[in-house]
């Protein structure tokens, strides 16, 4: 197969991969905006049809790449914004483009996304049967699928950021899916606030990379060779600063330390969304980002050491916290954190294909565990009722060897989930709340001054912070 034919096939199949989730979102979204109601069967059939079509198109792209021997094929959608530089020259204008790339990293990840989304979507059609928010769930589910496809195939950092935001938005909204209760709404806001901090770091890193190359194209940022053979042409000090910002973004999205506190809160959402988000795909998106920018990591030994250290600490914390959870979904969520931490360590040590295979295997396993968890608990209860007692459990080796006071401290640390929520609240949330309340008070005084009011009763911003207090 010649290169021209391979590119034509990839253009056709690539458009199909992108249009299938976008068409599903458009149909469900327009129907919802018009106030019309689709039956559960129609929504289920539409979801299955578009997911299967997208999966077949992605597998077709993989086949074209294997037959043609091409390791990277691109699908550019043109320059959306082109601005000249501030000096007035036009040699290096600012480009804002949407480009999609098909390589050894993006194609397996997008196939995994379609496969797991389709599987869990089929489960959700039965699990949410007669649920009042059935259509709303699948609408948010379609937003998530679009975000995952765009993030997986992103050829520019702007495209990746767009998909990143869609994934975060759908995740937070599905955490608060049961909005008639206060707890899901508060926990959804907590997830969204952590995502905002991670997105801010991602956005700053994007702006810095744009200043380096005047565009966000990964071929210019990470080298012209196909992944993972690219080499970033920047200094080690710049790579360290940008890499640390991207590491913060990855930590927020994947619930690494110190952002791990939102992970058990996200279990307020329905079981299908918990399985696909925090067991399979969304929790691995931070590791995917680190894999995509792996040539940047190689430019700084200090940055690689930070990646390894963060992954190791997160893995150890996840292993401890998973052992003391009182519900199975939170235990599986922290178990996912353990594996994601190990994956991050592998990336920091310089492995590329090993963490990719690890992501795919772990995503499939954790999805199965989260979907199987309710019936597994029932099976355990049946066994315990049959034998008339608890199932025997042998203590671990370290539990038999460690002193009792040491085990008590470790247990308390794990039970309090590392105190990460308290540390974030004291160091970040409360200072921001005080600052915003001070700004609100100044705005109130200035408004009353302009209006000629003399009363000072409204100096205190009593109306601010009810939601912030819940966070």
pLDDT at 124: 93
The whole model's pTM is what?
A: 0.86
pLDDT at 216: 78
Low pLDDT (below 50) residues in the chain = 87-90, 454-468, 470-471
45 and 155 fall within a common domain: yes
Residue 179, Cα to own-chain centre: how many angstroms? 22
Q: Is 403 among the domain residues?
A: no
315 and 457 fall within a common domain: no
Domain with 462 in it = 420-470
Q: Is 391 among the domain residues?
A: no
Q: Determine contact, residues 65/74, Cβ cutoff 8 Å.
A: no
What is the average pLDDT value for the chain, to the nearest integer?
85
Helix axes 134-153, 285-292, angle to 10 degrees: 20
pLDDT at 470: 47
372 and 424 fall within a common domain: no
364 and 425 fall within a common domain: no
Cα–Cα distance between 451 and 471 in angstroms, integer?
Answer: 34
Cα–Cα distance between 348 and 355 in angstroms, integer?
Answer: 10
pLDDT at 464: 43
287-305: pLDDT as tens digits? 999 999 999 999 999 999 9
Q: What is the largest CA-CA distance in the chain?
A: 82
Distances (CA, A) of 302 to 102, 175, 248: 30, 36, 15
363 and 435 fall within a common domain: no
178 and 56 fall within a common domain: yes
372 and 425 fall within a common domain: no
247 and 349 fall within a common domain: yes
How many structural domains compose the chain?
Answer: 2
pLDDT at 468: 45
183 and 292 fall within a common domain: yes
Q: How many helices (H) and strands (E) does the chain have?
A: 20, 2
pLDDT at 243: 94
- The residue from 376, 393, 428 where one domain ends is 376
**Taking phi first (over 0 means left), then psi (-120 to 50 degrees means alpha), and beta for anything else, what does residue 3 get?**
alpha
Cα–Cα distance between 288 and 360 in angstroms, integer?
Answer: 11
264-282: pLDDT as tens digits? 888 888 888 888 887 789 9
């Amino acid at each position: 197969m010649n290169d021209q034919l391979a590119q034509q096939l990839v253009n056709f199949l690539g458009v199909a991969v992108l249009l299938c989730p976008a068409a599903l979102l458009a149909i469900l979204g327009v129907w919802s905006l018009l106030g019309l109601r689709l039956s559960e069967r129609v929504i289920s059939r539409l979801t299955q049809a578009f997911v299967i079509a997208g999966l077949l198109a992605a597998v077709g792209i993989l086949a074209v790449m294997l037959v043609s021997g091409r390791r990277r094929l691109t699908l550019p959608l043109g320059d959306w914004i082109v601005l000249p530089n501030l000096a007035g020259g036009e040699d290096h204008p600012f480009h804002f483009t949407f480009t999609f790339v098909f390589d050894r990293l993006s194609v397996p990840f997008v196939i995994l996304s379609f496969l797991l989304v389709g599987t869990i979507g089929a489960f959700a059609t039965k699990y949410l049967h007669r649920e009042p928010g059935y259509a709303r769930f699948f609408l948010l589910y379609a937003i998530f699928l679009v975000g995952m496809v765009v993030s997986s195939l992103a050829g520019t950092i702007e495209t990746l950021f767009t998909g990143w935001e869609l994934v975060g938005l759908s995740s937070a909204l599905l955490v608060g899916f049961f909005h008639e209760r206060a707890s899901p709404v508060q926990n959804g806001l907590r997830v969204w606030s952590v995502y905002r901090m991670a997105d801010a770091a991602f956005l700053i890193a994007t702006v810095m990379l744009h200043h380096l190359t005047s565009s966000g194209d990964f071929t210019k940022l990470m080298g012209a060779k196909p992944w993972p053979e690219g080499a970033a042409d920047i200094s080690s000090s710049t790579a360290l600063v940008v890499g640390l910002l991207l590491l913060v973004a990855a930590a927020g999205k994947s619930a690494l330390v110190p952002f791990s506190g939102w992970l058990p809160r996200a279990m307020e959402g329905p079981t299908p969304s918990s399985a696909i988000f925090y067991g399979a795909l969304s929790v691995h998106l931070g590791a995917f980002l680190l894999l995509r920018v792996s040539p940047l990591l190689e430019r700084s030994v200090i940055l690689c050491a930070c990646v390894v250290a963060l992954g190791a600490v997160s893995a150890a914390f996840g292993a401890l916290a998973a052992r003391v959870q009182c519900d199975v979904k939170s235990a599986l969520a922290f178990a996912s954190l353990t594996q994601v931490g190990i994956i991050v360590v592998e990336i920091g040590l310089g492995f590329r294909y090993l963490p990719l295979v690890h992501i795919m295997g772990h995503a499939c396993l954790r999805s199965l565990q989260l979907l199987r968890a309710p019936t597994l608990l029932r099976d355990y209860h049946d066994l315990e009722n049959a034998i008339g007692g608890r199932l025997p459990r042998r203590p671990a080796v370290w539990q038999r060897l460690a002193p009792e006071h040491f085990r008590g401290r470790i247990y308390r640390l794990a039970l309090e989930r590392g105190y990460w929520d308290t540390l974030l609240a004291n160091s970040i949330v409360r200072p921001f709340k005080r600052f915003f309340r001070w700004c609100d008070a100044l705005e109130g005084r200035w408004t009353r001054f302009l209006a000629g009011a003399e009363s000072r009763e409204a100096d205190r911003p009593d109306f601010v912070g009810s939601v912030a207090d819940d966070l």
